[in-house]
Amino acid sequence: MKQRYVLTHTEALKVVTAIQLELEKANKGAAIAVTDEHGELIALLRTDGCPLASINNAINKAFTASREGKESKAIGNSSKDKGWPMTNFGDLRYTAWGGGVPIFHQGVCVGAVGVSGLPEEEDMVLARLGAKALE
């Protein structure tokens, strides 16, 4: 038998809260999504001022990072370098935008966090901050 680690809703809320606090300090709005290792949603927060399209974008960024165990931006760059459209991954939820960061426990991807609503670089910084909240 193989032991498996899973991201709990309590841990997902720690990730969301860490990012929420940063957004509130800066008076900025964004969507924050945390997914399990399969890319399925555990937690979602849409803060005040978040653009509506950012909700699905945050979920898709986390989905991509969970499924591939890499940042969503790296998946997009890899696909672009190979000349592949993102649809080659077989699911329309895959995205090439930065802001999705995998969450690892003992070297295994247990989920991911996605942030959307700000410039891509800011989304990426916040998502990394959220992933580090569990270290």
- pLDDT of residue 86 exceeding 90: no
Question: What percentage of the chain has pLDDT greater than the value 70?
Answer: 100
Question: Rounded to whole angstroms, what are the CA distances from 85 to 25, 69, 94, 114, 125?
Answer: 38, 19, 10, 21, 26
Average pLDDT of 56-77? 95
Please state whether beta strands 41-46 and 31-36 pair in parallel, antiparallel, or not at all (unpaired): antiparallel
Q: What is the pLDDT of residue 121?
A: 98
Asked whether the whole model's pTM tops 0.75, one would answer: yes
Say whether pLDDT at 81 is over 80: no
* Predicted local confidence at residue 113, as pLDDT: 98
Examine the pLDDT at 94 and tell me if it is beyond 80.
yes
pLDDT tens string 4-50? 999 999 999 999 999 999 999 999 999 999 999 999 999 999 999 99
If you average pLDDT over every residue of the chain, what do you get? 94
Domains and CATH numbers, the chain: 9-132 (3.30.450.150)
